[in-house]
C-alpha cells in the first residue's frame, strides 16, 4: 500500500492524457494539472464518455455505392487515465464490456479504448444520500472491481494508493509506502463509508419478482403516468450503452457515426414498417426498469445492470425512483 498527495499521484501518471471531474463536475474533461481536479466527494456525471463517446465516427466513405471507399478513423490507442471514477462507475464499465464483447460481436472501438485506459477509482467514505451500491451483492463504496489504481481519501490532501492490476502497480511503484497510521486511517474511512451506504434496496431475487409483474397494470401505472420520456435517466446512467447509427455528408465525403440513444424515446424502437413494439411510455419505462433489475441478470447470469449510483434518482424531474420500484416489486412478491 502506498500513500500520495493528488499532485504526487498525478506526477506518476505523467505522459498520459488524464480525464477527471472538473469545475462544477458536470462532466469529465482532460486536465493538465492536479489542481484542476475536483474533490473526490463530488458526484460528477458518469465517466462513461471516456469509454463510449457521445458521438463516435465508425468510418468515412467517399461513395455510398462503393464499399471499397470506406476508411476507418485513426483510433488513439495510447494509454490514458480516467481519474476519479467511483466504484459504481468502474463496475458499470465492466458491465458494458460484457455486452460489447459478447459472442462474435466484439466492439473494437470500446475494447481498444477500455484496454488503453488506466482506471483510477476513488472509494467513497461519504456516499451521496441517493447512492445504494451496497444493495448489490459484491458491491459497495470500496469495491475495487474494474479499477487499476484504487484510492482511499485520508484527508483533504492525501490518499492511500493501491495498484489493483499489474498496470496500476507499475505506475505507482515509485510512491512511498503507507505507514501503519495511514493504513489504520484508511480502514476507518472505509468503515465510515460501509456503515453509511444504503443496503435497503432488495436485489437478491428482484429479477424474478420483476418478471412476475411484467403485465401488471397496477404496478406500472403510477410510474408510466408520471414518466415524461425525457431520457435524462439514461443519459446520466453509467451502465446504459444503447446507441443509434446515422450518416452525414461532409463536403464530398460521408461519415457514419453512432450517438448515444435512449430507450425512453418513441423513435428508439420504431420499425421501418411503421410498427412500434413499444408504442407508449408504459412499455418504454417498463423496459428500462426490467433491463436494469431483471433482463440483464437473467441473460448474463450473475449481476444486475444497475450499479446503484443514484444518478437517475437525483435527476428525474418527476421523482421516479428505481429504489422504490425494487421495493414495491419485492413487497408484492411476498
Minimum separation from the CB atom of position 27 to ligand SF4 (A): 15
Residue pair 210/294 in contact by the 8 Å Cβ criterion = yes
C-alpha cell read off for 211: 418478471
The minimum distance between CB 291 and ligand SF4, in angstroms, equals 9
- CB under 6 A: which stretch of 7-15, 135-143, 230-238, 295-303 binds ligand SF4? 230-238
Query: Residue count at the site for ligand SF4 (CB under 6 A)?
Result: 26
CB contact set of 260 (below 8 Å; sequence gap of 6+)? 52, 54, 234, 235, 240, 242, 243, 244
Q: Is the dihedral of CA 248, 17, 89, 47 positive or negative?
A: negative
Name the minimum Å distance from CB 61 to ligand SF4: 35
| Least Å from the CB of residue 98 to ligand SF4 | 14
What does the alpha-carbon distance between residue 153 and residue 159 come to, in Å, rounded to a whole number?
4
Count of beta carbons in the 10 Å neighbourhood of residue 281 = 18
> At which residue does the C-alpha cell 489493483 appear?
164
| 203 contacts ligand SF4 (rule: CB under 6 A) | no
Residue 322, interface with ligand SF4 (CB under 6 A)? yes
List Cα–Cα distances, 93 to 63, 110, 245, in angstroms: 36, 10, 21
Binding part of the chain for ligand SF4, among 18-26, 176-184, 271-279, 314-322 by CB under 6 A, reads 314-322
Binding ligand SF4 (rule: CB under 6 A), the pick from 184, 259, 298, 318 is 318
Nearest to 234 by CA among 137, 132, 306: 306
Which residues in 264-293 contact ligand SF4 (CB under 6 A)? 264, 285, 292
If one asks whether residue 86 binds ligand SF4 (CB under 6 A), the answer comes out as: no
Long-range contacts at 299-305 (CB < 8 A, ≥ 24 apart) = 300/98, 303/95, 303/136, 303/138, 304/136, 304/203, 304/206, 304/207, 305/95, 305/239
Q: Which of 50, 172, 233, 326: binder of ligand SF4 (CB under 6 A)?
A: 233
Output phi, psi for 329, to 5 deg. Answer: -65, -45
DSSP class of 156:
S
Asked whether position 316 contacts ligand SF4 by CB under 6 A, the answer is yes
| Residue 329 within binding range of ligand SF4, rule CB under 6 A | no
The residue (of 161 and 290) whose beta carbon lies closer to ligand SF4 is 290
Rounded to whole angstroms, how far apart are CA atoms 82 and 174?
20
Give the range of 103-111, 149-157, 212-220, 226-234 binding ligand SF4 by CB under 6 A: 226-234
Q: Shortest Cβ distance from residue 263 to ligand SF4 (Å)?
A: 9
Q: Does 242 bind ligand SF4 (CB under 6 A)?
A: no
Query: How far is it, in rounded angstroms, from Cα 50 to Cα 92?
Result: 13
Q: Residue 85 or residue 309: which is nearer to ligand SF4 going by CB?
A: 309
Quote the strand ranges of the chain, DSSP E. 2-5, 17-21, 28-31, 55-61, 80-85, 117-122, 149-153, 158-163, 243-250, 253-260
Q: Which residue in the set 96, 320, 326, 329 belongs to the binding site for ligand SF4 (CB under 6 A)?
A: 320
Only one of the segments 62-70, 102-110, 145-153, 316-324 lies at the binding site for ligand SF4 (rule: CB under 6 A); that segment is 316-324
Would you say 69 or 145 has its CB closer to ligand SF4?
Answer: 145
Nearer to ligand SF4, 11 or 41 (CB): 41
Cβ–Cβ < 8 Å for 135, 308 = yes
Binding site for ligand SF4 (CB under 6 A): 227-233, 236-239, 264, 285, 292, 306-312, 316-318, 320, 322
Amino acid at each position: 500500500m502506498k500513500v500520495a498527495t493528488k499532485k504526487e499521484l498525478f506526477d506518476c501518471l505523467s505522459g498520459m492524457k488524464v480525464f477527471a471531474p472538473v469545475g462544477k463536475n458536470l462532466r469529465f474533461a482532460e486536465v493538465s494539472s492536479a489542481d484542476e481536479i475536483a474533490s473526490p466527494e463530488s458526484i460528477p456525471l458518469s465517466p462513461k464518455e471516456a469509454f463510449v463517446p457521445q458521438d463516435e465516427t465508425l468510418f468515412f466513405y467517399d461513395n455510398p455505392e462503393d464499399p471499397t471507399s470506406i476508411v476507418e478513423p485513426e483510433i488513439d490507442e495510447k494509454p490514458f487515465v480516467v481519474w476519479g471514477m467511483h466504484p459504481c462507475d468502474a463496475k458499470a464499465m465492466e458491465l458494458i464490456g460484457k455486452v460489447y464483447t459478447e459472442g462474435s460481436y466484439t466492439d473494437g472501438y470500446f475494447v481498444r479504448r477500455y484496454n488503453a485506459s488506466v482506471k483510477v477509482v476513488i472509494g467513497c467514505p461519504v456516499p451521496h444520500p441517493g447512492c445504494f451500491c451496497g444493495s448489490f451483492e459484491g458491491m459497495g463504496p470500496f469495491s475495487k472491481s474494474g479499477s487499476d489504481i484504487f484510492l482511499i481519501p485520508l484527508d483533504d490532501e492525501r490518499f492511500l494508493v493501491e495498484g489493483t492490476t499489474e498496470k496500476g502497480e507499475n505506475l505507482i511503484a515509485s510512491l512511498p509506502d503507507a505507514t501503519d497510521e495511514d493504513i489504520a486511517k484508511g480502514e476507518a474511512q472505509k468503515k465510515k463509508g460501509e456503515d453509511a451506504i444504503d443496503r435497503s434496496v432488495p436485489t437478491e431475487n428482484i429479477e424474478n419478482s420483476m418478471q412476475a409483474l411484467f403485465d401488471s397494470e397496477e404496478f406500472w401505472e403510477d410510474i408510466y403516468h408520471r414518466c415524461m420520456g425525457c431520457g435524462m435517466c439514461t443519459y446520466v446512467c453509467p451502465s446504459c450503452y444503447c446507441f443509434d447509427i446515422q450518416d452525414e455528408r461532409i463536403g464530398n465525403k460521408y461519415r457514419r457515426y453512432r450517438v448515444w440513444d435512449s430507450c425512453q424515446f418513441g423513435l428508439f424502437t420504431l420499425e421501418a414498417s411503421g410498427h412500434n413494439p413499444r408504442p407508449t411510455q408504459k412499455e418504454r419505462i417498463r423496459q428500462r426498469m426490467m433491463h436494469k433489475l431483471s433482463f440483464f441478470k437473467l441473460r448474463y447470469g450473475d449481476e444486475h445492470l444497475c450499479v446503484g449510483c443514484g444518478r437517475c434518482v437525483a435527476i428525474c424531474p418527476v421523482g421516479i425512483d428505481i429504489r422504490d420500484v425494487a421495493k414495491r416489486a419485492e413487497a408484492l412478491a411476498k
